[in-house]
RNA sequence: GCGGGAGUCGCCCAGCCUGGUCAACGGCGUAGGGCUUAGGACCCUAUCUUUUAGGAGUUCGUGGGUUCAAAUCCCACCUCCCGCACCA
């Protein structure tokens, strides 16, 4: 079947747009449903991965519309942030890689790229690109409410939001360390660095040793080892600087002095001193006043810490090795004699190491590797000296072991920290040193050197006077928990993650100094940060409609405007005065905006990828509970989906496996892509998108379309047909229908109910599976049945197809319109659904006849049994005899069934129960049968047991006699198929098979 | 470390919430058959072991437990993946 997807889709798009089908207006006669998705950041075209969240949300929206709900599904564009700014800079600088991506990967026309030095042009270009893709995918969006986050009216909204939060005391000031580019004067994150490295930093403790009135600070990550210190290390070839740090005289490396400048310290330079000059001097330990020597070491790096290292040879492999190197130096370097006199002081005990853990660690890390190593092998451990890279491994292993398992030695040296676990001691010592004034902290980039895209090396900077949202506020957290507890979180597995994030969040910077966005109203140097201006904007969709049609202008949107529209403060004195004397917005317009807000709010479901759980989605909850009235306008639900993989691996530019969404639509059609995305995985799983499934889906849709066309061709245009199936009263009386039709109706209704349940639970993959595969096998069986009887069953087929296609509509909205048209179900431009019943098929519970379903199961089981006998024996059947259990067995079987329903499950209990009833006396003579019947019954589900116990009228023999012979002859080619009851006096049973018959398990003989 | 998730029949992936319809959906692969000038596409059948009577046996990371019944519930363990911030 050749399908012109492009034509069908563009035709649908035109009709949808012309009819304003997705433009939602308040309607008090219908339940509303407000569905939102996280709006896109327009810095690149959409790819398949982006499409997943939007497609799921759209299927959801369309399903709800079919259910008769008034769905609002809007979209905006998030211009706020720095990455686009960074792109513009790189374009201006002619960045090769970026230009290549823009041209080749993104296909941006050359004249557009020329304008990309202005970040706004980048955003506008990709905005239109993304929007076109959304329209082509058939997303049912109300575009009248579109906006960008740099629209003047949106800025008014954000100003109001951020002012209100500040008045509530939720915005505070403080300082905070960030990765920083000294060149750009801006914080850096992963996006801003060469090689996309996230700058990480650690906090060193600088312990203030003294010489001659100068502080010689040694930076360490292990302050608890101070008690094992034996000497200090410096680089004797390095020139250190003498500086005044906040008025104190310090000696540090030049790099260290520069770092301190960014850490809120006042640094002035007084002079230099060489490392060689320091060697040999005695440093005073701050906590004891004792003296230790300063010695030279090669491993000391000026850029790490302060350029001065505290030596703890017992617990630091580098120190131990350096000491040894020095003592062993044949040329008798300065300090070599002193080094020989130094003995490691062990102050941490573990089960793993001995008295000199550092030495043990070196031996462990280098043992067995000595052979084949380059360079001269020295010492029994095979370590080649303090520059041996394996010392790094030794250090890591030793540190980890001592940190998690170590205990501070019970020793005079460790004083009041003796006996403490190392992880505890570390914190305690740090606090104690700080309290005593013996130490300060030094923040430093851990994974350095990290370079900004501009090329400059990044540092840690303490940003002072930074604005923070105080997510650490415990009352705020409590409200958020209350909100979350009432919310529907789909899938529910991630609820726990939300709880944890709420607990764990603390102050978060909400303003930055660069980028697109809205200025802080009270401090024009700052711009509201992009994750803070996107937390309650769903409310703005209501207002956007009035802004876009010119009803309200940005300058009219004062604080009072929002206080009324969003918070309902009609009678607030300020608002009253404003609306009576100041504003020129007509009162009825004000009322209309407020009414529309109250109609659509709260957000019923917010869709997003799971990467937004620890940030945006949680902020969304927090800010709603802070801004809006408890419960009334708090969000009701969140739907989270996993990401999309391409042939099993992550999509990335470098792998070249990114499929642009619009290209995929052109090649395969929107409906096919939608189905492929939905079928690939259940919500939270990562979906693997691959070409096989795309082809498979397209074939499926084309086949289904072909079926619909065939039904039209053989059946005319179907006037008078009942388009949507299921439970309508105008069908022919069902009592006159043949068995297979009755079964098909019940089966279809049962499956329809299941699809509805799956959709309600957002198990779209499951729903789609039922629609595609369950229906297919149902129709397959029906076809066998009707073919055996020589009928076509077209009327039923068409009814089933209409139901099936109706339910497929949310998934494949374009092609299903053509399918429904072929089936004679006109498309209704008013609601975008099907005429003739309208919307999602309704199924009344009592319209499903379980005994009909059971009967068909019996038929199918019997057919399966015959087939497996034929397969095992390889017989070509001539006559097939089927023997149904007699009335006496049936009576006993029911007796057993009753026993089981009364919780009697063991053979003994059942026998006792049976014999208590005189009608069951026959049971005594057939214990084998009772045993087998019991086993049969125990293996049924509870539902089946109940159903069997209820359907007392069902006559197996009669049903099989009327339905089996034709079917079995057709299927197996037997000339004769006979059905007997076990007790039938006319029975033909040469092999005595009949006695094996059990209820719902007839005996079979094949000749 | 803190938090979350996952381990299923060659591969991918469902089933677990609500125990029985589960030798376990669907897709890919493989084998046989059909269709076709051929190739592709498509359709049918088979695909844990065993079996010439519809049966039996052994399976769902490992080991225990609960139950008449466990892939599914409980406990312990092993392995893998993801997030941990001022960034969209």
Q: For residues A438 and A207, is the Cβ–Cβ distance under 8 A?
A: yes
pLDDT of residue A1: 59
- Find, among A290, A284, A426, the residue nearest to A348 by Cα: A426
How far is Cα A861 from Cα A876, in angstroms, rounded to an integer?
A: 20
A496 touches strand B (CB under 7 A): yes
Q: What is the mean pLDDT of each run of 10 residues along chain A (1007 residues)?
A: 83 90 93 95 88 91 91 96 87 88 91 94 96 95 97 96 94 83 74 67 87 90 89 92 92 90 88 90 89 90 88 89 84 78 86 81 66 40 73 78 78 76 82 88 78 77 85 91 89 84 88 88 91 95 97 96 95 95 94 97 92 92 92 91 75 72 88 85 76 78 84 56 39 70 88 87 85 83 83 81 88 89 64 50 80 86 84 81 88 86 80 81 80 84 80 84 87 85 87 87 87
- From residue A745, alpha-carbon distances to A69, A111, A283, A386, A662 in Å are 27, 61, 93, 82, 41
Instruction: Specify the pLDDT at position A735.
Output: 60
Partnered with residue A506 across adjacent β-strands are none
A509 touches strand B (CB under 7 A): yes
The reply to whether the CB atom of residue A885 sits less than 7 A from any atom in nucleic acid chain B is no
Residue A712: how many CB atoms within 10 A of its CB?
17
Residue A457 contacts strand B, CB under 7 A: no
DSSP 8-state class, residue A197: P
The answer to whether A873 CB is within 7 Å of strand B is: yes
Protein A661 CA to nucleic acid B63 C1', in Å?
Answer: 48
Angle at A39 between CA A144 and CA A618, to 5 degrees: 130
Neighbouring-strand partners of residue A272: A241
- The answer to whether the C-beta of A947 is closer than 7 A to strand B is no
In A446-567, the DSSP E strands lie at 459-469, 488-490, 508-509, 511-512, 519-520, 523-528
Helix or strand or coil: residue A207?
strand
User: What's the pLDDT score for residue A714?
Assistant: 63
Distance CA A531, CA A456 (A): 27
Nucleotides of B strand lying within 7 Å of any protein CB atom: 1-6, 12-15, 18, 20-21, 25-28, 41-43, 51-55, 68, 83-88
CA-to-C1' span, A493 to B61 (A):
21
- Alpha helices in A790-849, H assignment, sequence order: 794-808, 813-822
Residues 298-327 of A with CB under 7 A from strand B: none
A667/B13 CA-to-C1' distance in Å: 26
* Cβ-contact A724, A802 below 8 angstroms: yes
CB-CB contact of A960 with A882 (8 Å) = yes
Q: Which of residues 30-89 of A touch strand B (CB under 7 A)?
A: 41, 43, 78, 80-83
Of residues 194 to 233 in chain A, which lie within 7 A of strand B by their beta carbon? 198-200
Beta bridge partner(s), residue A70:
A32
- Please state, in angstroms and rounded to a whole number, the distance separating the CA atoms of residues A892 and A898: 10
A973 CA to B44 C1' distance (Å):
17
Given this model, what pLDDT does residue A114 score?
A: 92
List C-alpha distances in Å: A685 to A35, A609, A697: 22, 11, 20
**Polymer length of chain A:** 1007
Peptide bond between residue A602 and the one before it cis (omega within 30 degrees of 0): yes
Interatomic CA distance for residues A298 and A54, integer angstroms: 58
A419 Cβ contact partners less than 8 Å away, ≥ 6 residues apart: A407, A408, A410
Nearest nucleotide, C1' to the C-alpha of A496?
Answer: B4
Calpha distance A906→A896 (Å, rounded)? 11
Residues 378-437 of A with CB within 7 A of strand B = 404
Find the Å distance, CA of residue A685 to C1' of nucleotide B7. 14
Whole-angstrom Cα distance, residue A285 to residue A295?
Answer: 15
Sign of CA dihedral A936, A940, A945, A948: negative
Q: In the structure, how far is the CA atom of residue A799 from the C1' atom of nucleotide B44, in angstroms? A: 27
Q: Which of residues 761-790 of A touch strand B (CB under 7 A)?
A: 761, 763, 766, 769, 773
pLDDT for the residue numbered A717: 46
Tell me which residues from 130 to 189 on chain A have a beta carbon below 7 angstroms from nucleic acid strand B. Answer: 176, 178-179, 187-189
Whole-angstrom Cα distance, residue A108 to residue A45?
Answer: 10
- DSSP of A571-629: T-HHHHHIIIII--S-HHHHHHHHHHHHHH-S-SEEEEEGGGIIIIIHHHHHHHHHHS-
Distance of C1' in B53 from CA in A905, Å: 30
Tokens coding A813:
């909205």
Distance from residue A667 (CA) to nucleotide B35 (C1'), in Å? 28
Residue A836: its pLDDT value, please?
36
Spell A466-484 as b/e; 16+ CB within 10 A means b.
bbbbbbebeebbebbbebb
Distance in angstroms (rounded) separating the CA atoms of residues A758 and A818: 25
* Strand nucleotide closest to residue A883 (CA to C1'): B54
CA end-to-end span of chain A, whole Å?
A: 44
∠ CA A525-A526-A531, rounded to 5°: 170
CA of A773 to C1' of B21 (A): 17
Q: With a 7 Å cutoff on the CB, does A703 touch strand B?
A: yes
A144's tokens: 């009248």
Q: What pLDDT sits at residue A675?
A: 87
Is the distance between the Cβ of A681 and the closest atom of strand B smaller than 7 Å?
Answer: yes
Structure tokens at A406: 């170590």
Cα dihedral across residues A486, A487, A493, A497: positive or negative: negative
Token duo for residue A562: 């929002």
Closest by Cα among A645, A632, A630 to A603? A632
* 8 A C-beta contact, residue A68 and residue A839: yes
Name the DSSP class of A44.
S
Residue A916 contacts strand B, CB under 7 A: no
Q: Å from A872 (CA) to B50 (C1')?
A: 12
Distance A755 CA to B24 C1' (A): 22
Tokens 């709010």 correspond to: A601
> Cβ of residue A500 near strand B, that is under 7 Å?
yes
- Say whether the CB atom of A531 is under 7 angstroms from strand B: yes
Residue ranges with strand state E in A101-200: 171-181, 186-187
Interatomic CA–C1' length for residue A981 and nucleotide B55, angstroms: 24
d(C-alpha A562, C-alpha A549), whole Å: 18
Q: Give residues with Cβ within 8 angstroms of A730, minimum separation 6.
A: A722
DSSP A184: T
Half-sphere exposure of A324 (CA within 13 A, CB side): 21
Q: Is the dihedral of CA A188, A191, A197, A198 positive or negative?
A: positive
What is the pLDDT at residue A826? 60
Tokens coding A949: 């116990």
Instruction: Tell if A259 CB is < 7 Å from nucleic strand B.
Output: no
A702 touches strand B (CB under 7 A): no
Q: How far apart are CA A768 and CA A774, in angstroms?
A: 9
- Phi, psi at A623, each rounded to 5°: -75, -30
What CA–CA distance (Å, rounded) separates A592 from A543?
10
Output the distance from A987 CA to B56 C1' rounded to whole Å.
Answer: 31
From A248, A252, A249, A241, select the one nearest A304 (Cα to Cα).
Answer: A252
Strand B neighbours among A 733-762, CB < 7 A: 761
């Amino acid at each position: 079947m050749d399908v012109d997807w492009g034509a069908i889709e563009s035709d649908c798009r035109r009709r949808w747009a012309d009819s304003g089908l997705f433009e939602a207006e308040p309607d008090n006669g219908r339940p509303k449903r407000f569905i939102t998705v996280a709006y896109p950041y327009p810095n690149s075209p959409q790819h398949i991965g982006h499409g997943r969240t939007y497609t799921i949300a759209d299927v959801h929206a369309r399903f709800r519309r079919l259910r008769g709900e008034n769905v609002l599904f809007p979209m905006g564009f998030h211009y706020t942030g720095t990455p686009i700014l960074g792109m513009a800079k790189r374009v201006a600088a002619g960045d090769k890689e970026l230009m290549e991506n823009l041209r080749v990967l993104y296909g941006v026309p050359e004249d557009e790229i020329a304008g990309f030095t202005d970040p706004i042009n980048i955003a506008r270009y990709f905005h239109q690109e993304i929007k076109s893709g959304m329209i082509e995918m058939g997303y049912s969006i109300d575009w009248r409410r579109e906006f960008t986050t740099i629209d003047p009216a949106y800025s008014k909204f954000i100003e109001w939001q951020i002012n209100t939060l500040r008045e509530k005391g939720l915005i505070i000031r403080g300082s905070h360390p960030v990765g920083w580019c000294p060149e750009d004067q801006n914080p850096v994150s992963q996006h801003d660095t060469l090689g996309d490295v996230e700058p990480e930093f650690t906090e060193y403790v600088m312990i203030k040793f003294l010489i001659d009135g100068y502080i010689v600070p040694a930076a360490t990550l292990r302050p608890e080892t101070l008690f094992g210190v034996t000497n200090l290390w410096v680089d004797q070839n390095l020139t250190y600087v003498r500086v005044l740090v906040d008025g104190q005289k310090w000696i540090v490396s030049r790099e260290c002095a520069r770092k301190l400048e960014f850490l809120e310290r006042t640094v002035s330079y007084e002079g230099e001193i060489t490392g060689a000059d320091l060697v040999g001097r005695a440093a005073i330990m701050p906590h004891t006043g004792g003296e230790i020597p300063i010695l030279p070491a090669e491993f000391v790096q000026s850029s790490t810490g302060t350029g001065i290292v505290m030596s703890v040879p017992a617990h630091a492999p580098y120190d131990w090795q350096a000491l040894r190197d020095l003592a062993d130096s044949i040329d008798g370097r300065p300090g070599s004699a002193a080094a020989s006199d130094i003995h490691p002081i062990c102050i941490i005990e573990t089960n793993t190491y001995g008295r000199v853990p550092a030495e043990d660690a070196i031996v462990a890390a280098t043992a067995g590797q000595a052979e084949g190593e380059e360079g001269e092998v020295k010492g029994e451990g095979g370590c080649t000296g303090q520059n041996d890279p394996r010392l790094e491994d030794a250090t890591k292993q030793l540190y980890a072991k001592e940190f998690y398992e170590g205990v501070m030695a019970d020793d005079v040296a460790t004083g009041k920290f003796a006996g403490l676990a190392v992880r505890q001691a570390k914190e305690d010592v740090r606090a104690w040193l700080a309290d005593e004034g013996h130490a300060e902290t030094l923040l430093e980039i851990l994974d350095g050197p990290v370079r900004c895209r501009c090329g400059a090396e990044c540092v840690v900077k303490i940003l002072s006077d930074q604005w923070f949202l105080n997510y650490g506020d415990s009352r705020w957290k409590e409200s958020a928990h209350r909100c979350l507890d009432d919310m529907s979180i789909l899938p529910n597995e991630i609820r726990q993650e939300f709880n944890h994030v709420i607990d764990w969040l603390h102050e978060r910077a909400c303003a930055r100094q660069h980028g697109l966005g809205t200025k802080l109203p009270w401090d024009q140097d700052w711009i509201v940060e992009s994750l803070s201006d996107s937390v309650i904007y769903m409310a703005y969709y209501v207002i956007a409609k009035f802004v876009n049609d010119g009803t309200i202008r940005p300058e009219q949107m004062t604080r009072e405007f929002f206080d009324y529209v969003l918070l309902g403060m009609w009678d607030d004195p300020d608002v009253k005065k404003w609306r009576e004397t100041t504003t020129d917005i007509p009162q009825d317009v004000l009322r209309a905006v407020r009414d529309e807000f109250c109609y659509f709010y709260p957000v019923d479901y917010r869709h997003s990828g799971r990467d937004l759980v620890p940030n945006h989605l949680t902020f969304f909850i927090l800010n709603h509970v802070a801004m809006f009235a408890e419960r009334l306008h708090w969000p009701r639900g969140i739907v989270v989906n996993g990401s999309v993989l391409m042939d099993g691996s992550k999509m990335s530019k470098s792998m070249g496996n990114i499929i642009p969404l619009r290209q995929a639509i052109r090649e395969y059609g929107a409906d096919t892509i939608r189905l492929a995305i939905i079928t690939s995985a259940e919500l939270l799983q990562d979906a693997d998108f691959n070409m096989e499934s795309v082809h498979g889906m397209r074939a499926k849709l084309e086949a289904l379309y072909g079926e619909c066309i065939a039904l039209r061709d053989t059946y005319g245009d179907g006037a008078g047909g009942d388009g949507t199936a299921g439970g309508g009263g105008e069908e022919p009386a069902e009592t006159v229908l043949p068995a297979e039709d009755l079964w098909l109706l019940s089966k279809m209704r049962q499956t329809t109910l299941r699809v509805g349940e799956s959709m309600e639970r957002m198990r779209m993959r499951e729903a789609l599976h039922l629609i595609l595969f369950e229906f297919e096998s149902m129709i397959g069986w029906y076809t066998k049945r009707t073919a055996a009887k020589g009928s076509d069953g077209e009327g039923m087929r068409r009814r089933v197809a209409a139901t099936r296609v109706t339910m497929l509509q949310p998934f494949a909205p374009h092609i299903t319109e053509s399918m429904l048209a072929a089936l004679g179900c006109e498309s209704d431009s008013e609601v975008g659904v099907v005429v003739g019943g309208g919307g999602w098929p309704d199924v009344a519970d009592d319209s499903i006849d379980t005994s009909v379903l059971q009967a068909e199961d019996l038929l199918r089981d019997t057919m399966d049994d015959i087939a497996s006998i034929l397969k095992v024996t390889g017989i070509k059947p001539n006559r097939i005899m089927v023997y149904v259990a007699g009335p006496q067995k049936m009576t006993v079987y029911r007796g057993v069934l009753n026993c089981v329903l009364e919780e009697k499950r063991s053979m003994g209990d059942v026998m006792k129960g049976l014999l208590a009833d005189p009608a069951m006396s026959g049971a005594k003579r057939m214990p084998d049968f009772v045993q087998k019947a019991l086993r049969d019954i125990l293996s049924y589900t509870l539902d089946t047991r109940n159903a069997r116990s209820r359907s007392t009228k069902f006559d197996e023999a009669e049903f099989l006699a009327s339905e089996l012979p034709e079917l079995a002859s057709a299927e197996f080619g037997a000339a004769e198929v006979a059905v007997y009851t076990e007790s039938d006096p006319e029975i033909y049973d040469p092999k005595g098979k009949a006695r094996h018959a059990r209820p719902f398990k007839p005996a079979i003989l094949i000749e």
